[in-house]
Structure 1
Amino acid sequence: MELIEEIKELKKYKEDNDLTIAELARKIEADDTTVGRWLKGEVKPSFYSLHKVRRFLSDTKTLKELKTLETFSDEVNRDHIQTESDINYLKQRISVLSDIEDLDTLVTELNITTKLGNLMRDAHNTPF
């Protein structure tokens, strides 16, 4: 008997997650012997059991999508934190550059004061 699509997906989920039949059966709230027979293709699930399998598969897909979104969200948060850090660094650098511009003014004033001091010295050393 060929497996129906939902049971193929269930079997793939079991293999991908390295589950025993008993573990898988607990997850879908079904009898492990029955689940084992579904996976072997010996019997098809009843309408109610098929509904539970579909609901389980839908929930696992939704959970997987949410984990993908969480991963994306984590990446966005890391990028946001890094961007804030970069902005703070740039603000510090701009502040330092502003201080340097203030120093330029002080250096200019110091040069003028030095020239005036030299003129005064030369004036005092010159005989009248």
Structure 2
Amino acid sequence: MTTTRIRDIQQAAARAALAVPGVAALQPSLADRLAAAVASRAQQTSGAAPLPADAGIRAAHTPEGGGWHVEVRCVLHEDHRVLDVAQQVREHVRAAVTALLAQHGTPAPVTVLVTVIRTV
């Protein structure tokens, strides 16, 4: 898969996760935040460079199974039940990525791991 394809999967997963009621935001990883800081320095701008909307998503092709593994790191609203929201995020992301792959003619199994970072 090309980088563009991985980016498409990350963006589809991000849109699906953010559409779930109770999801406040996606949490970028430390690597995402460091990359944004380096980009900001390189551009000589004040403040941090904006993080991409899919910064809380990791996607990797699993060669042994021929499928995809997607990790979602999210921040939830505290007035929602964490387990219910995490299950909905997993289902929505899996459906969105599966549909994207089918649309491109490359159907494959998709596994999704949801990590709730915190509640706000």
With normalisation by structure 1, the TM-score equals 0.26
Q: Which has the higher strand share?
A: 2
Q: Which has the higher helix share?
A: 1
Instruction: Select the structure with the greater relative contact order (CA < 8 A; seq sep ≥ 6).
Output: 2
Larger Rg: 1
